[in-house]
Structure 1
């Protein structure tokens, strides 16, 4: 049986003094988790929220998200936090216990996350990243280390949507985050551009791109239709009652009885059943 499973990682507190000065816009990941659990919105079977967890614990949770999954299981990894580009140009996700001089041991490397995704049997993987970027000694990342490309891996059925600010400073916070706009989109159904009742990842990208300039999207593999959620305000209108068909189903057998008498009672009952069956089929058919 296909499952929908999500892991939300939210890092906002840091023991490292230099990282503690960094600011990100407020991100209500608790509200996002509730929306993903809601059967009328995300309809995820399992949603785990990890807030300010240490690196070792997060490694286990990420591995658990992708291990022992089936091909059609839909897996969502949602990350809020700061990325660090080390002196070798490699990308890491900061955690509550990250130290700048021991990134390999105290941060989540992009290589580790990509490897977990690559080893999973699931071909329906969604990675969404909302955060900022901090570069050690102003080191620039290589072109192939951009967040939308570094997580490509073997690229079988994977979509990567990121909103990473390039501002490393500790100045004023941005007013809103990608998470803020995502929560609004899911609550209101605003991202359902084609009105089909489903929020597909490309529709979500087009919506978020209008809200945050840093939003980028990459789809890897053959599967292009990744459904993140439902539009809670999309309803299929009820079919109008077709009274002409109902009256026909009732009057025709009555007429047979009146004309033919009791001898035709069996025929009339059979005719009524046939007409009611026709009515049921025509009722479901579009006008």
Structure 2
């Protein structure tokens, strides 16, 4: 059994394709760990490294890699550079000659077709083939970052096969990035780290298999750049191909694995800290070495948090400068999001509280100055047609509504008033959970409205769904519009949510959480019909409320 490797990095391109300085650095890092006698243990004579090759050189090297091999030989092909799709969906790997027509269409004779590589792999007698592609399959470019491909391709069918494992830096519809100022591409950085540190050997057998290496890199990439999702395509024994050695019984490696297990959401847990302190002593590690290992493990998450903060600062500056964001600014923010490797859901958790803070900061001081009596007075006068019966009942039976009224923010009051208007609009003679939902959307500026807006929930669509479920009313309007039992329950649940979140007011966000919790309510059916993931919606509302609460803003 022998081991052969071909490492190709293409950094320099013809006009029309961005340069990728990190690609050449990628192959140097891969060469270092694969040739190391205690890691990859590939012989120097059996490894070929090509920087910026033209097409004919690249294809000849690939053919040499797979030719004249025995069944048990390990053959590894690594590529870092642009991946490009033609109009029929076929993948090509770029060369230093690769270029496009003015129309943007690939000049196929300047790139290496994946189908050509697949044919060479099929003809090879080796049944242990590993392909690692650090290029993505959906093209986009952002300042400071170079996307390394163009459009979607079917990697599994184009390169997959028995006894073969294909590792890619992202899925067929996502980005793979290199970032200016970094030596290595995001994906390759953690492939190298998994081998070099031995941390990818999760079963502690002294060997790193393909599936272990993939899982380690995948986890780290998503901690640092959640917009990327590395994939593995393997058949049967392809998953268990051994790619490198790992030390057994190494104190630093053992401590690193302990740290990995004790980290939750980018922090060492309370009990985890005690575990690590005991393990540090048992393994004989100095405080400095232990701290260095912890920092290395936590670095991806810290990088992600730093990117979140940078985007939040950029958004706040744009809002301060423009007030209402222009389409051009939104497009720039989208490009910046890609540069920071953030998902849309990451951005949602930033945009809502920043926008709310801008809208409410001028009002917060005024709201804090209101006395409890004034707020109750305002609430009663705005809701007298809706809640007079409930108010009287609460006063007679010492029900807790009095506390509720004290806690309603101005925006929550406005949402209920608008719910009343929606009831009249539909010709109904009651206020249900669906009308409360419509009121929350119409209010427009609170937590609930902002989060629903970012989820793509529009007032017109919601009204249509409400009408589908409950229809139009007779138009008869009683002197008093009562809450349905479910609507009353939503208000009770909003109180519970406020208490759980440890604030002494009921905001629009709390009302929305109450709607979500009442599974039998019409509001939940409406949201589900609109394609909303209720758990994700809840998490986002809670996150936004907490951020706003930390800034002492109670006008949601």
Provide the TM-score with structure 1 as the length reference: 0.71
Measured in 2, the distance between the counterparts of 1:32 and 1:199 equals 15
- Displacement of 1:90 after TM fit? 1.4
Secondary structure of the residue that 2:82 maps to in structure 1?
A: strand
Does 1:215 find its partner at 2:213? no
Look up the match of 1:98.
98
- Displacement of 1:25 after TM fit? 7.4
CA 1:187/1:116 → structure 2, altered by over 3 Å: closer, same or farther? same
* 2:137–2:151 Cα contact (<8 Å) kept: no
Measured in 2, the distance between the counterparts of 1:77 and 1:90 equals 19
- Displacement of 1:119 after TM fit? 0.7
Does 1:43 find its partner at 2:41? yes
Measured in 2, the distance between the counterparts of 1:32 and 1:171 equals 16
Measured in 1, the distance between the counterparts of 2:213 and 2:176 equals 29
CA 1:139/1:156 → structure 2, altered by over 3 Å: closer, same or farther? closer
- Larger RCO: 1 or 2 (CA < 8 Å, sep 6+): 1
Secondary structure of the residue that 2:202 maps to in structure 1?
A: coil
**Structure 1 residues 47-196: aligned runs within 5 Å:** 47-101=47-101, 103-133=107-137, 135=139, 140-141=151-152, 145-152=153-160, 155-164=161-170, 166=173, 176-196=185-205
* 2:177–2:186 Cα contact (<8 Å) kept: no
- Displacement of 1:27 after TM fit? 4.2
- Displacement of 1:12 after TM fit? 1.1
Give 5+ residue unaligned stretches, structure 2.
141-148, 222-227, 251-556
Secondary structure of the residue that 1:132 maps to in structure 2?
A: coil
Q: Deviation per CA, 1:211-255, whole angstroms, max 9, x where unpaired?
A: 224210111244542011001x3259xxxxxxxxxxxxxxxxxxx
* 2:84–2:151 Cα contact (<8 Å) kept: no
CA 1:134/1:4 → structure 2, altered by over 3 Å: closer, same or farther? same
CA 1:100/1:36 → structure 2, altered by over 3 Å: closer, same or farther? same
* 1:23–1:172 Cα contact (<8 Å) kept: no
Q: Deviation per CA, 1:49-104, whole angstroms, max 9, x where unpaired?
A: 11101111000000000011111110000111111111222111111111224632
- Displacement of 1:133 after TM fit? 3.8
- Displacement of 1:208 after TM fit? 0.9
Q: Deviation per CA, 1:150-184, whole angstroms, max 9, x where unpaired?
A: 212xx221011100475679996596421111111
Secondary structure of the residue that 2:240 maps to in structure 1?
A: coil
Secondary structure of the residue that 1:9 maps to in structure 2?
A: strand
Measured in 2, the distance between the counterparts of 1:159 and 1:118 equals 13
* 1:77–1:127 Cα contact (<8 Å) kept: yes
Secondary structure of the residue that 1:190 maps to in structure 2?
A: coil
Look up the match of 2:26.
28
* 1:81–1:132 Cα contact (<8 Å) kept: no
Measured in 2, the distance between the counterparts of 1:88 and 1:47 equals 34
Look up the match of 1:228.
243
Q: Deviation per CA, 1:125-152, whole angstroms, max 9, x where unpaired?
A: 000111234659x9853xxx32344212
CA 1:14/1:35 → structure 2, altered by over 3 Å: closer, same or farther? same
* 1:85–1:135 Cα contact (<8 Å) kept: no
Give 5+ residue unaligned stretches, structure 1.
237-287
Look up the match of 1:4.
3
CA 1:118/1:235 → structure 2, altered by over 3 Å: closer, same or farther? same
CA 1:132/1:22 → structure 2, altered by over 3 Å: closer, same or farther? farther
Measured in 1, the distance between the counterparts of 2:150 and 2:30 equals 33
* 1:24–1:174 Cα contact (<8 Å) kept: no
CA 1:207/1:139 → structure 2, altered by over 3 Å: closer, same or farther? closer
Q: Comparing both structures, which one devotes a greater share of its residues to strand?
A: 1
Q: Give the number of equivalent residue pairs.
A: 228
Measured in 1, the distance between the counterparts of 2:151 and 2:176 equals 15
CA 1:85/1:75 → structure 2, altered by over 3 Å: closer, same or farther? same
